[in-house]
Amino acid sequence: MEDKKIIEMFFERSEEAIAFLSEKYGAYCRSIAKNILQSEEDAEECINDAFLTVWNSIPPQKPEKLGIYVGKITRNFALNKAKYNAAEKRGGGKYEEALSELEECIASKDETENCIDKIVFKETVEAFLLNQPEEKRNIFIRRYWYLQSVSELSAAFGFSESKIKSLLMRMRTELRKKLEKEDLI
């Protein structure tokens, strides 16, 4: 079913809208949450919370791209759950590791945690990523948006882990220079 029709169903307050949303974007949201949390139960909790948030926010919101909208909400719930898990010494892991890698691009860990979503969407970062070859761009996004591990990226792209680490380090350095040049950090 098309996104516009699903959104219309939300505006009509039809409960079937959730079923169609789940059918179309459930697997996408599950992969986002599971990559961040590494727990099926926590991922399902985040998806349920995300779908409830979508239900409560449409209307009045009318997202242009429903998949991106629900994906970002799911990601935010998963990141908050990861912070909670890490704060309680319950595991954490991928989220903290990926943020620590980005710390060299962004001034401090606190600033990283507070600004990561804002920076990703700034025109400067978008321009930086769009100017990268597709493969490099995909590796960067899969590492820092979907929080895939270096070993997962290595397997997916057929590169050694050291090549992936090196490529990411060079891209972070390049990004930092661009952000400094634009006075964003």
Q: Are residues 11 and 76 in the same domain?
A: yes
CA distance 107 to 114: 11
Q: What is the pLDDT of residue 5?
A: 95
Percent of the chain with pLDDT over 90: 56
Q: Are residues 11 and 57 in the same domain?
A: yes
pLDDT grade for 92, boundaries at 50, 70 and 90: very low
Q: How many domains does the chain have?
A: 2
Q: What is the pLDDT of residue 82?
A: 85
CA distance 153 to 139: 7
Task: Decide: 71 and 3 in contact? Cβ < 8 Å.
Answer: no
Task: Decide: 66 and 25 in contact? Cβ < 8 Å.
Answer: yes
Containing structural domain, residue 167: 94-181
What CATH number did the domain enclosing 67 receive? 1.10.1740.10
Q: Are residues 103 and 79 in the same domain?
A: no
Residue 110 has pLDDT above 60, yes or no: no
Q: What is the pLDDT of residue 121?
A: 43
